[in-house]
């Protein structure tokens, strides 16, 4: 299974409503996410089984842009409050994704996405020092008969993509 963990694209400093959850992506953020999607498709051509995102506008929009770039626009984007900013890693959601054994994209916020990756990856030295807006880290876990369904440290980093913008 491949899990692509992404921090939402670059967002505006404020929203028309004044609420953090409504902050939209900037035009630079949109271009950066589209670039990451195209690069991921060219390098890995993932066939996603699921796309999950935070309930916040900037994360959901990032997931929509990625789905379009990856040719997965028909996959519904599932939203989870557990993926909102400052939440603990969504361990139950991770277990569910891992149990399905299908490739998935998860779009969330800092610092939760970093904590999630530290939980999953065996060698944290493989991880980037920070996950800036629009960055994506792909992690993979062996699957099949006899492979333990454990999450902690069972993944290895396969991809690190940063927007050029």
Sign of CA dihedral 1, 131, 77, 159: negative
Rg (CA), the chain: 15
CATH of the domain at 98: 3.40.50.1240
Contact present, 7 and 113 (Cβ < 8 Å): yes
Range with top average pLDDT, 58-62, 92-96, 139-143, 151-155: 58-62
Domain that holds residue 45: 2-161
Q: Domains in the chain: how many in total?
A: 1
Mean pLDDT across the chain: 92
pLDDT mean over 80-85: 94
């Amino acid at each position: 299974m491949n899990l692509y963990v992404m921090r939402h694209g670059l967002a505006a400093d404020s929203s028309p409503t004044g609420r953090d959850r409504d902050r939209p992506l900037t035009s630079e953020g949109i271009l950066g996410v589209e670039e990451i999607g195209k690069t991921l498709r060219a390098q890995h051509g993932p066939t996603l089984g699921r796309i999950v995102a935070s309930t916040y506008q900037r994360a959901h929009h990032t997931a929509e842009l990625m789905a379009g770039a990856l040719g997965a626009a028909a996959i519904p984007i599932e939203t989870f409050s557990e993926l909102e900013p400052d939440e603990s890693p969504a361990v139950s959601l991770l277990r569910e994704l891992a149990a399905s054994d299908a490739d998935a994209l998860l779009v969330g916020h800092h610092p939760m996405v970093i904590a999630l990756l530290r939980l999953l990856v065996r060698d944290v030295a493989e991880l980037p020092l920070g996950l800036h807006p629009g960055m994506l880290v792909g992690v993979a876990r062996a699957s099949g008969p006899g492979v333990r369904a454990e999450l902690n440290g069972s993944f290895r980093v396969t991809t690190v993509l940063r927007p050029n913008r």
